[in-house]
Amino acid sequence: MIAPEPFFEPRGTPFSEYHRIRALVDLGHTVDLVTYPFGADVSLAGLRLFRCLRPPFLRRIGIGPSLAKVPLDAALALTAVRRVLTERYDAVHSHEEGSFIGVLLASMLGIPHLYDMHSSLPQQLSNFAFSRSRMLKRAFTSMERFVIRRSRVVVVICPHLAETVRGIDPVVPTVLIENAPGSGDSPVEGSGAAVRRTLGFGADTPVILYTGTFEPYQGLDLLFASAMRVKAERPDVRFVLAGGRPEQVAAARRDAARAGVDDVVVFAGQRPAEEIPAYLDAADVLVSPRSTGTNTPLKIYQYLRSGCPIVATRLLTHTQVLDDSVSFLTEPTAEGFADGILAALADPVQARAVGTRARELAEAKYSYELYLARTRLACAHLSGDATAQVAGGVA
């Protein structure tokens, strides 16, 4: 398995990679993971970890495309080549841009390749505001097409990516495996009381919680703009943001001050994954103000399992999983998002009903048993044993 990310770090794709490995091990496979020289070591029976060399002066790597990834991916490729020259493998399983390395190695070895598609590579350029170069976008588009057409099976994390794959090659098997297990544990009832005490909130303080990264596409500017209107009608409300690197938190504090809501916004900073369930239990409303992109945010699956009402923008990034029965969907405007938060606070009975239906959806559609079944199907396609029929919503 080739993973061009810091492994392990508590964020999107590394979470997904961890649970892919966990499922493969549970199904009886062994995995040699080739990854970046950053992140915490992970101990799983059946997993061996191989880190590439760290380029000089590079101490960390951020989320999304960057020039720093060029020497890192070159080092990653060299490490992967060394592995295939010393070990005999049944398949190559690669993530993100590591798939380009993966298909070349698989072709060289004459073994099948699985592409784990967490996002559309050309779309990343705009999502992360990395470049507007048409030439670079064409290069990423060509690389994506090359990888998909030379993979035995493609795993996607949301329906929109499945459509992208079918638009490139309608024949290649595509297996939808949502990142539900990788989103984190469910909250324990009552655990949020300690969080409220730590933050200085009373039991009756309405808490609006955001969890996740502070990347531009997450829509924190929209959240701060909407907070002004919420504050005007409910001055007792507090917005808690759990996440963000220190420099991102500092920038977000300035943005909140400019929006005039710094007195009702609390920054909890990056929290260990095991603390997030208690934060969820402390909340009255969970928010996802994402304003761009099409992939379902990882947090949504954990939000669903919490049973707490969710307010999210009515965009494809959310509506592939959420609808009006399990969330408060709003227009992606400050006014619309504020109305959604105020509606969830104004009618606790409806909010509880929405949260209950959300938890029931998570239990029915995003269980680990189904995740494992879809991983088994992807492996069957990889070995050539699966049919192309649709089963349980999986193509």
pLDDT in tens, 296-314: 999 999 999 999 999 999 9
Collapsed DSSP state (helix, strand, coil) of residue 180: coil
Question: How sure is the predictor about 63, in pLDDT bands with cuts at 50, 70 and 90?
Answer: confident
Residue type, 371: Y
Average pLDDT, integer, range 198-210: 96
Question: How sure is the predictor about 391, in pLDDT bands with cuts at 50, 70 and 90?
Answer: very low
Q: Is 171 exposed, middle or buried (0-12, 13-18, 19+ CB in 10 A)?
A: exposed
> From the centroid of its chain, how far is CA 1?
19
Q: Which residue has the tokens 């995740």?
A: 371
pLDDT of residue 395: 47
Region of 91 (left: φ > 0; alpha: ψ -120 to 50; beta: rest) is beta
Its pTM stands at 0.87
CB–CB of 241/221 below 8 Å? no
Q: Which of 268, 263, 195, 271 is nearest to 227 (CA)?
A: 263
pLDDT of residue 324: 98
Name residue 269's beta-bridge partners. Answer: 242
pLDDT at 173 over 70: yes
Residue type, 2: I
Q: What are phi and psi of 345, to 5 degrees?
A: -75, -30
pLDDT of residue 356: 98
For residue range 141-157, list pLDDT tens digits in order.
Answer: 999 999 999 999 999 99
pLDDT of residue 70: 93
For residue range 239-254, list pLDDT tens digits in order.
Answer: 999 999 999 999 999 9
Region of 173 (left: φ > 0; alpha: ψ -120 to 50; beta: rest) is beta
Average pLDDT, integer, range 1-29: 93
Alpha-carbon distances of 36 from 12, 39, 41, 381, rounded to whole Å:
16, 8, 11, 28
Residue type, 149: R
Average pLDDT, integer, range 355-383: 95
Average pLDDT, integer, range 358-372: 94
Collapsed DSSP state (helix, strand, coil) of residue 153: strand
Cα atoms found within 13 Å of the Cα of residue 238, Cβ hemisphere only:
18
For residue range 75-122, list pLDDT tens digits in order.
Answer: 999 999 999 999 999 999 999 999 999 999 999 999 999 999 999 988
pLDDT of residue 322: 98
pLDDT at 130 over 70: no
The answer for residues whose C-beta is within 8 angstroms of residue 4's C-beta and 6 or more apart is 35, 36, 69, 72, 73, 76, 95, 96, 97, 98
pLDDT of residue 390: 41
